Amino acid sequence: MTRKSRSRLERDRQGIPRRENISKVVLDHERKQRFILTNDMLINQLQRDGPRVARSFDKLMKTELVECSKLFSSVQGMLLRHLPRVDDEGFKATSARLLSSAANSYVASIEVARHGFPRQHGALVRMVIETLATVVVLATKPEALAQFHSGKLSSSKCVSWANKSLPLLGPLWGMLSNEFVHIGLGHSTLEMPSKYSADDEALSFLRTSLVSSSWLLHMVTELVFSDETPELLYWTRSGDKVVFDPSTEGARWMDEHLS
């Protein structure tokens, strides 16, 4: 055995990375500890640690993910016929693109939660809620569509306007803004991505967030395309008006999953 190979074996035994992969060595004299930081920390987080965290999330959230996927698929079905009209600035085509964007943000919020970032999940869900509020305003204010396409419709103001039609949107947007978007004391808490466990406090929030967000996405989509949807779960058409009036099945789902 050569001297080089002996030194390499000893280095591997001690868990010391190769010199060219060392980014920084930090000595904590107070705790008598040494930390060796490598150049591949980001890659390890993305390719090694992240998938492990995601597997724990998928196992513990399996029931919720299955239910949310049903709603997500139903939303895509209602949007499908309008999404190819990319140059159409009419209400339905515009709303379909916005709802598709909300759906993408929803999926992104799940992905960051899966990989151990519940706080960042909350920030993305706030984007979902703000997008849904904008769609509700397009559906209820005749002048809003022209304002939107001219860049004069404030999405944050849409939240308070939409809250008159769906009172849940305002408080939810406010909570997500204060707790997850606006920087506060909570952001100074040390949070490192790690595998989820059954008693993880974050899971309670994530379960509520995933289910309620998918329900809101589905409900607002059904509102926009109520005249094209044969069996409405949450709305009843009365002439030119649409009234929130859950069907037996819709009420059952709400009692079962939103309680």
Domain boundaries, the chain: 51-225
Residue type at position 33? Q
The position carrying tokens 């069907």 is 247
Sign of CA dihedral 96, 256, 209, 237: positive
CA gap 78, 222 in Å, rounded = 8
What is the structure's pLDDT at 187?
A: 85
What are the angstrom distances between the C-alpha of 188 and each of 177, 179, 185, 192, 196?
16, 12, 5, 12, 21
- Over residues 74-99, the mean pLDDT reads 95
Centroid of chain to Cα 257: 18
- Over residues 26-53, the mean pLDDT reads 83
pLDDT tens-place string over residues 124-155: 999 999 999 999 999 999 999 999 999 999 99
- Over residues 33-44, the mean pLDDT reads 80
Global pTM reads 0.87
What is the structure's pLDDT at 230?
A: 86
Nearest residue to 208 (alpha-carbon basis) of 184, 175, 235, 182: 175
Share of the chain above pLDDT 90, in %: 67
**Residue 243 or 72, more confident:** 72
39: tokens are: 């150049």
